[in-house]
Every structure is written in structure tokens, then in C-alpha cells.
């Protein structure tokens, strides 16, 4: 055995003790550093700067006739629509409110719809649009209410036989035929139905129509109503040639056409509200909707039938002329709608007529 207290052994132990103390200090320092990192939380890199570039458009408004620049609407976002541009244009030029402004991409092109986005029209950062003054505008609801209220009131003024229109002595002397009262009822029913459907059934677009169109429509309806009512309510009015049978059958046909017209309008309005535009309206259990099997615009068919029945019931020349003009006008409207239906519902509308089977 060697004495552990020899100088060599003492030096070895001193060296081992120094190494142990150094390793213990290193581990303790590493532990403290770990605690510091954990207490500071996760090390996050510095956030990178996002360079988001938003492109704005400049819309140049040019007069369609003089080709002179009216104004420039700047800082128009890409998501803006034509209606937004019209509002900004109205702020720059207060004399032209949005419904009066017509914007075109080309001079001879169609007017752009309010829902079209500027981004879909832009080729560069500058978009040139041509301005047309559409004149004073009115809403569609105002248009139809004014157009239909006039005939209702005008006919009643002739029905009560005002002294300024008819001779009072002759009015008291002559007896009124029952068809006069029936004609007043049917005429008022027709326009009351139109007014109620305008308020509660029809869903008009947010667009407007020029005031001159309303004046022309009122002149047509009000003028013919005055002409028709004057003869039917005249003291010398004579009843139809075939008497009671002619009046009864014509009145029954008139009421059936009015009911059919109403149910067709309700069916079309229900289709628009439900949003189901993938298929053409199909007939239901209601027999008045079965006309959808033959024509694409049965509301015009019923409307024409109402005025033809009214003409047969009263047997007056003004009513016949009015019915003839209405048939021509509605056939034109029906053919125009039929072409639109062919583009959207070709397989279902292909074999249908527009308004009258076989003829139109």
C-alpha cells in the first residue's frame, strides 16, 4: 500500500477537484442561461414589412357630343361600380344626379349598367367614359302609379255625368242601360288591379325612366280613357246588338282574363323573389297558369283578351281602336321578351309562341 498522502497523490486529487469544480460551474452557468431564455419567451424574428400596393383608377368623363372633357374622377378603387362613379361625378357636377347620368364605354355603345365594376372595363389606369344627359328621371313605381291612377279617376268623372260634359236635362231623361254600370265596374277593376300589383306584386329594378316617357304613357292612357268613357256614359248610348247574351259572355271572359293576368303576374314575381332563374316558369295546379304550356308571355295574352272582351261587351268604336293598338303594342313587347327567354331557357321555350299560339 502506498500512503495516500504522498505528494504525487495529493497533486492528483487537487487536479481532479479543480476539474470537478470547473465542470460544476459550467453546468450552472448553462442552467442559468436556459432559465433566462425560457423566461424571455419564444424568440420571434423581426416582422417583415409587407409592401401592399393598392391601384386606383382615374375615370375621365367626356361629353358624347362635343368630345370635351367634363371632369376627372380620381382615386377610384378597383371594386367600385358605375353607380359609385356616378355618385362621385354628381359631387363634382351637382346639376347631374346619378339617375340622370348615362355612361358609355364607346360613343355609339350601350349605356353601362350600374352594377358593372370599373376593373372589368379598365385597360390601363385611366378609363374614359362618355357622358349623356338622360333628362329628368322618375322611378318605375311613380311611373305606373301615375299612369294607372289617371284612367281610374277620369272614367269615374264621366260616369257621374258632370254638367260640364253632358246635358243635364238629357241625362235625367234617358235611362241608363245595365251595361253602362257593368262597364264602369270592369274598367275600375282593371286599373285597381294594376295599382295593387304595382304596390304589392311587381318588383321593379332600381333604375329610372325619363319623364318624357311617363308623359307619353299618360297621354295615351288618359286620352283613350276619356274617349271611351265619353261614349259609353253618354245619355244616347245604345246597348250591344245581341243584348244580354253578348254582354254576359263578354263580361265573363273579361273577368277570366283579369284573373289569369293576376295569377301570371304573381307566378312571375314569385319566381323573381325566390331567385330560381334556371328554368322557365312551369304551370301549377292553378288552371290560369296552364297557358305557360303554349306561350312564353301569357300575361300579355290575358291583357289583350281583357280589352277585346271589353270591346265586345260595350260595342263601341273607341274601345275597339284601343284594343287593336294594345294588341299590337303587347305583341311587340312579347316578341322582345320571347327573344330574351330563348337565350336563357332555350330548351323549354323553343316550341312556345310569344303571345298568341301559332300566330305570334
Query: Which of 302, 190, 314 minimizes the C-alpha distance to 242?
Result: 314
351: left (phi over 0), alpha (psi -120 to 50) or beta: alpha
Q: How far is Cα 201 from Cα 359, in angstroms, rounded to an integer?
A: 30
Answer whether 86's CB lies under 8 Å from 80's CB.
Answer: no
Choose the weakest-confidence range: 7-16, 48-57, 67-76, 137-146: 7-16
Choose the weakest-confidence range: 5-19, 200-214, 299-313, 344-358: 5-19
Q: What is the pTM of this model?
A: 0.77
Q: How far is Cα 17 from Cα 300, in angstroms, rounded to an integer?
A: 112
Answer whether 136's CB lies under 8 Å from 100's CB.
Answer: yes
Using one digit for the tens of pLDDT, what is the confidence trace for 46-69?
A: 444 344 455 789 999 999 999 899
Inter-residue long-range contacts of 172-176, CB under 8 Å, 24+ positions, other chains counted: 173/235, 174/235, 174/236
% residues pLDDT > 90 (the chain): 59
149 Cβ contact list (under 8 Å, min separation 6): 191, 195
Q: How far is Cα 181 from Cα 171, in angstroms, rounded to an integer?
A: 15
pLDDT band at 205 (very low <50, low <70, confident <90, very high): confident
Instruction: Give me the CATH topology for the region 57-135.
Output: Ubiquitin-like (UB roll) (3.10.20)
Report domain extents, the chain: 57-135, 139-345
Q: How far is Cα 190 from Cα 184, in angstroms, rounded to an integer?
A: 10
Amino acid at each position: 500500500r502506498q500512503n495516500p498522502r504522498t505528494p504525487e497523490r495529493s497533486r492528483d486529487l487537487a487536479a481532479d477537484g479543480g476539474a470537478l469544480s470547473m465542470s460544476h460551474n459550467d453546468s450552472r452557468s448553462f442552467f442559468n442561461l436556459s432559465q433566462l431564455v425560457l423566461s424571455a419567451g419564444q424568440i420571434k424574428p423581426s416582422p417583415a414589412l409587407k409592401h401592399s400596393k393598392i391601384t386606383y383608377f382615374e375615370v375621365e368623363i367626356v361629353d358624347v357630343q362635343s368630345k370635351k372633357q367634363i371632369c376627372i374622377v380620381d382615386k377610384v378603387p378597383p371594386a367600385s361600380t358605375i353607380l359609385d362613379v356616378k355618385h362621385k361625378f354628381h359631387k363634382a357636377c351637382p346639376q347631374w344626379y346619378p339617375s340622370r347620368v348615362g355612361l358609355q364605354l364607346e360613343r355609339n355603345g350601350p349605356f353601362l349598367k350600374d352594377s358593372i365594376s370599373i376593373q372589368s372595363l379598365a385597360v390601363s389606369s385611366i378609363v374614359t367614359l362618355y357622358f349623356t344627359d338622360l333628362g329628368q328621371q322618375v322611378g318605375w313605381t311613380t311611373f305606373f302609379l301615375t299612369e294607372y291612377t289617371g284612367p281610374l279617376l277620369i272614367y269615374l268623372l264621366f260616369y257621374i255625368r258632370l254638367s260640364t260634359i253632358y246635358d243635364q236635362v238629357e241625362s235625367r231623361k234617358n235611362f241608363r242601360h245595365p251595361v253602362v254600370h257593368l262597364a264602369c265596374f270592369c274598367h275600375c277593376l282593371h286599373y285597381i288591379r294594376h295599382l295593387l300589383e304595382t304596390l304589392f306584386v311587381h318588383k321593379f329594378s332600381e333604375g329610372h325612366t325619363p319623364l318624357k316617357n311617363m308623359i307619353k304613357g299618360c297621354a295615351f292612357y288618359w286620352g283613350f280613357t276619356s274617349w271611351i268613357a265619353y261614349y259609353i256614359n253618354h245619355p244616347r248610348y245604345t246597348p250591344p246588338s245581341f243584348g244580354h247574351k253578348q254582354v254576359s259572355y263578354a263580361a265573363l271572359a273579361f273577368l277570366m282574363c283579369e284573373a289569369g293576368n293576376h295569377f301570371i303576374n304573381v307566378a312571375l314575381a314569385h319566381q323573381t323573389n325566390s331567385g330560381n332563374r334556371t328554368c322557365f316558369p312551369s304551370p301549377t295546379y292553378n288552371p290560369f297558369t296552364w297557358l305557360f304550356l303554349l306561350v312564353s308571355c301569357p300575361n300579355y295574352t290575358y291583357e289583350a283578351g281583357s280589352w277585346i272582351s271589353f270591346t265586345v261587351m260595350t260595342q263601341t268604336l273607341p274601345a275597339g281602336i284601343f284594343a287593336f293598338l294594345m294588341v299590337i303594342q303587347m305583341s311587340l313587347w312579347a316578341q322582345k321578351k320571347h327573344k330574351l327567354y330563348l337565350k336563357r331557357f332555350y330548351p323549354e321555350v323553343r316550341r312556345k309562341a310569344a303571345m298568341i299560339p301559332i300566330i305570334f
